[in-house]
Amino acid sequence: MYRLLIFAFLLFACSKTEKNSARLELEVLTNFMKGSFSNKDQLADKYSYTILSTKELWPGSESEKWLLENQSLSINPDDIFRQRIYHIKLTDDNIIQVDILAAPAKASFETIKEMNKDSLIIRSGCSIFFRKEKDEFIGATFGDQCETSYQNASHVVEQFKISKNQFINWVSGYNDAGDQVWGAEEQALIFKRL
């Protein structure tokens, strides 16, 4: 009986340590994603490049984080062409899952911060699952579940490699036959911290 109790305690301690380690990784990934980045170094045309800016929306929780990401062009940084909300959380298996959501309409950081989280629109099937490898996080959507109708594609595959000073994003659209119909074929978008 005594051995059984010790075994149960060790299992609980390992589980708790694993959970704490996963929470720490979630915090590190969140910090890596926050800030301003650009893909200026990747482009031959240094005049017009993409600026990616990410801020934390509702701080305070250890088990989940909310980030707002805005993308704009350097020639007109106030004109946001893509806006995303990331909900970063842990699965029951301590895997980092990032759900992608949107506000009902593009809005300022302050406006979205005042919104009820229930009013946000989730992109079903487009969650990104991350694992830590050395000093970076590798993530991707799962299979062909992230549906789209953009430019004759039926689904999107999105991949990430995120480190302290770099945010690499590879997005491709595929048709039902599995052929790539849009997106980069040879190189991902490489955003470097500003």
Q: 68: closest CA among 33, 27, 29?
A: 33
CA distances 50 to 18, 36, 80, Å, are: 38, 11, 10
What's the pLDDT at 16?
Answer: 58
DSSP lists the bridge partners of residue 87 as 66, 99
3-class DSSP string for 24-50 = HHHHHHHHHHCEEEECHHHCCCCCCCE
What's the pLDDT at 185?
Answer: 77
What fold characterizes domain 2-193? Lipocalin (2.40.128)
Is the CB of residue 130 less than 8 Å from the CB of residue 96? yes
What's the pLDDT at 140?
Answer: 96
Q: How many CB atoms lie within 10 A of CB 166?
A: 14
Q: 60-89 b/e with 16+ CB inside 10 Å = b?
A: eeeebbbbbbbbbeeeeeeebeebbbbbbb
What's the pLDDT at 2?
Answer: 44
* Pairing outcome for strands 35-38 and 180-183: unpaired
pTM: 0.87
Both tokens assigned to 175: 């048709």
Regions of the chain where pLDDT drops below 70: 1-16
What's the pLDDT at 15?
Answer: 54
Q: Where are the domains of the chain?
A: 2-193
What's the pLDDT at 1?
Answer: 47
Q: Is the dihedral of CA 140, 162, 67, 102 positive or negative?
A: negative
